[in-house]
Amino acid sequence: MPGRFQQTISRSTSVKGFGLFTNADVCVTFQPAGENHGIVFQRVDLPGQPKIKACITNIAAEERRTKLVDGSASVEMVEHVLAALAGLQIDNCLVQVDAPELPGCDGSALPYAAALLDGEPVAQRAKRETLVLKDDHVIEDDNAIISASPYFSGLRISYDLNYGTDSVIPAQLADFSIDPVTFVSGIASARTFVLEQEIAYLRSRGYGEKVSTSDLLVYGENGPVDNELRAHNECARHKLLDCLGDLSLCGCDVQGHIRAFRSGHRHNHLLARLVYDLARNKTTAVERAA
Ligand SMILES: [Zn+2]
Q: Ligand 1 centre and the CA of 288: distance in Å? A: 31
> Whole-angstrom Cα distance, residue 121 to residue 141?
38
Q: Ligand 1 centre and the CA of 5: distance in Å? A: 28
pLDDT, one tens digit per residue, over 10-41 is: 999 999 999 888 888 999 999 999 999 999 99
Split at pLDDT 50, 70, 90, the class of 281 is confident
3-class DSSP state of 125: strand
pLDDT at 289: 35
> Whole-angstrom Cα distance, residue 97 to residue 48?
13
pLDDT, one tens digit per residue, over 120-148 is: 999 999 999 999 999 999 999 878 999 99
pLDDT, one tens digit per residue, over 38-87 is: 999 999 999 999 999 999 999 997 778 899 999 999 999 999 999 999 99
What mean pLDDT is predicted for residues 253-281? 94
- Told to judge if 257 belongs to the known catalytic residues of this protein, a careful annotator would answer no
What mean pLDDT is predicted for residues 83-103? 97
Residue 244 has pLDDT above 60, yes or no: yes
List of E strands, 108-171: 121-127, 130-132, 137-141, 144-149, 155-161
Q: Ligand 1 centre and the CA of 283: distance in Å? A: 32
pLDDT at 266: 92
Annotated active-site residue in 238, 257, 265, 267: 265
Residue 237 has pLDDT above 90, yes or no: yes
Split at pLDDT 50, 70, 90, the class of 290 is very low
3-class DSSP state of 288: coil
